[in-house]
Amino acid sequence: MDINDKSQIKNYQPLEGRYHQMRYNRSGDSGVLLPAISLGLWHNFGYVDSIQNGRDILRCAFDLGITHFDLANNYGPPYGSAEENFGTIFNKDFKPYRDELFIASKAGYDMWPGPYGNWGSRKYLTASIDQSLKRMNLEYVDIFYHHRPDPSTPLEETMVALSDIVRQGKALYVGISNYQPKETKEAASLLKELKVPFILHQARYSMFDRWVENGLLDTLKEIGTGCIAFSPLAQGMLTDKYLKGVPESSRAAKDFTHLNVDTVKSNIEKVQLLAAIAQERGQKLSQMAIAWILRQPQVASVLIGASSTKQLKENVEALNNLNFSEETLKLIDEIVMN
């Protein structure tokens, strides 16, 4: 007898041919290929969000050839809930495809109270990876990052902790995030001595935020490590959302992120001019912003968030036009730097 289930939620069967539509780039000198666009779970996957919407986004991403899902211990909100929700979805939809996925987690920001729930000590990183694996129902992550430099803990302690996490089989590769060029080179030297594969530096990078161009990209090329760029859309400023002002429903209006109303208003004219260039290229502003980052040879992947499958599909279409003339690049620079 039939049941009266009208949810229309069916068992997940990935799209055949999904790997033919995605571009894959090598991460530095490693053997790892990453999708040019990866999915970050910083927002939209916490307890405050719809888990079914998150499930739809992850399914859509994999169908588009996105094999890299990026998490951290404190993603949510509340902290840890993005990993828990991902673990639930993974068990339902992705467990048979574990070997086709490249899953990341990180630790380095505040996660639990007391002296051992933050920064970069061996105790914090060791406890954090164990907690993350438990929340996600995984035996290992593909890459584990130290999320930010720790000014108080010796770098050697942090890097040895990452090394031991790999040797214990809890991660295959290690990465760092938000490190300056000098710190990155020092970390790379230690990890090389420890014979641990250091393959990615996750750094904030957009048309409006170009700090990586002041030495970091050159350093990564020198040490053979790839870059994965986060916040490529400047927290949503490099989209069509703010072309006519600040919508009441936007994150900037609600002060949910680092983006605020004053920042948007001071950059609206630039955003409008950039959107006009994107239109001439046959793209939306968000698509051009992603393509602009991918022109950098050291960038293996651009990390995007998505609140819907429609938004995800739209951003992946950035790959349809990755070419820029020197004239266009110069014009973009003039607008942004003005």
Q: Following DSSP, what letter does each residue of 114-143 receive, concatenated?
A: STTSSTT-HHHHHHHHHHHHHHHT-S-EEE
Q: Is the pLDDT of residue 262 over 90?
A: no
Q: What is the pLDDT of residue 256?
A: 55
**Residues 154-176 pLDDT 10s:** 999 999 999 999 999 999 999 99
Exposed/middle/buried for residue 182 (C-beta within 10 Å: 0-12, 13-18, 19+)? exposed
Q: What is the pLDDT of residue 207?
A: 98
Please give the Cα distance from 189 to 328 (Å, whole number): 38
Cα Rg, the chain, nearest whole Å: 20
- Parallel, antiparallel or unpaired: strands 171-177 and 141-146: parallel
Task: Give the confidence band of 243 by pLDDT, cuts at 50, 70, 90.
Answer: confident
Average pLDDT over residues 302-327: 98
Question: Computed from CA positions of residues 316, 207, 278, 243, in that sequence, does the dihedral angle turn out positive or negative?
Answer: positive
Residue 270 CB neighbours (<10 A): 18
Q: What is the pLDDT of residue 235?
A: 87
- How many degrees, rounded to 5, is the angle at CA 33 between CA 28 and CA 37? 100
Average pLDDT over residues 19-38: 98
Mean residue pLDDT of the chain comes to: 94
Low-confidence winner among 73-82, 215-224, 244-253, 320-329 (lowest mean pLDDT):
244-253
**Residue 29 Rama label (left phi>0; alpha psi -120 to 50; beta):** alpha
Q: What is the pLDDT of residue 250?
A: 59
Q: What is the pLDDT of residue 241?
A: 85
Helices (H), the chain: 51-63, 81-89, 122-136, 155-167, 181-193, 216-223, 251-254, 261-280, 285-294, 309-316, 326-337
Say if pTM beats, i.e. exceeds, 0.85.
Answer: yes
Average pLDDT over residues 178-193: 98
Please give the Cα distance from 303 to 202 (Å, whole number): 9
Helices (H), 201-260: 216-223, 251-254
Q: Is the pLDDT of residue 252 over 60?
A: no
Q: What is the pLDDT of residue 9?
A: 74
Task: Give the confidence band of 254 by pLDDT, cuts at 50, 70, 90.
Answer: low
Q: Is the pLDDT of residue 4 over 80?
A: no
Please give the Cα distance from 330 to 275 (Å, whole number): 15
Terminal Cα distance for the chain, rounded: 69
Average pLDDT over residues 18-37: 98
Task: Give the confidence band of 20 by pLDDT, cuts at 50, 70, 90.
Answer: very high
Residue type, position 17, single letter: G
Average pLDDT over residues 285-293: 98
Q: What is the pLDDT of residue 284?
A: 97
Q: What is the pLDDT of residue 330?
A: 98
Report the candidate in 110, 87, 120 with the shortest Cα–Cα distance to residue 190: 120
Exposed/middle/buried for residue 275 (C-beta within 10 Å: 0-12, 13-18, 19+)? buried
Residue 139 CB neighbours (<10 A): 9
Average pLDDT over residues 53-75: 98
Token pair 């992120």 in the structure block, residue: 257
Q: What is the pLDDT of residue 266?
A: 76
State the helix-helix crossing angle for 261-280 and 285-294, rounded to 10 degrees: 80
Q: Is the pLDDT of residue 263 over 90?
A: no
Q: What is the pLDDT of residue 255?
A: 58
Task: Give the confidence band of 10 by pLDDT, cuts at 50, 70, 90.
Answer: confident
Q: How far is CA 54 from CA 87, 250, 306, in A?
A: 12, 19, 9
Secondary structure of residue 11 in the 3-state scheme: coil
Q: Is the pLDDT of residue 212 over 80?
A: yes
Selected residue with higher pLDDT from 326 and 259: 326
